[in-house]
Chains A and B, each alone.
Chain A
Amino acid sequence: QQQVRQSPQSLTVWEGGTTVLTCSYEDSTFNYFPWYQQFPGEGPALLISILSVSDKKEDGRFTTFFNKREKKLSLHIIDSQPGDSATYFCAAPYTGNYKYVFGAGTRLKVIA
């Protein structure tokens, strides 16, 4: 099975700071990369996604970057808020986009 590796495993940042999460993958045929956000007691929900034809996508305080040559992704959260405290998963589809492999997740805590 293709691997998607995330780092760090957990992270604590101060309110107002910038959070950076990273993800690396193996299969160069992956072409769509979502990030999911999961709060305790809930299922993951799509936060932001990027296609491999782009190198950057922004949505408010959240930006994802894609580096095709290095097979890496990152998620940047500016002005981090306590409400951003959650687990973040990167994922990649394989076998014709019909199923996904998820990273192990990064547990983020933002403290006021």
Chain B
Amino acid sequence: AQSVTQLDSHVSVSEGTPVLLRCNYSSSYSPSLFWYVQHPNKGLQLLLKYTSAATLVKGINGFEAEFKKSETSFHLTKPSAHMSDAAEYFCVVRIFDMRFGAGTRLTVKP
């Protein structure tokens, strides 16, 4: 069985400051891990994915995530937030079917 927990339902940062969105997972097997983003009235867009290659995964728009097996974590980071990053972010674990976290809503203050 697999599951995923996003540790923060809301995160608020100021523009230009770092972003950290936390995700812990549970899986009996080696999972694939994904981060998706959803902007208002848009579909979910893939930011990045981990598939047992490099543990540090770089995605679009300056985001990256590090797979830490010992901590069962896959946190999403970005060095400097932009106003356009304001959206809802989903961490997903997949063995067979996709299991979504509850989502983290990111607010970026000017």
Q: Do the two chains belong together in a single complex?
A: no
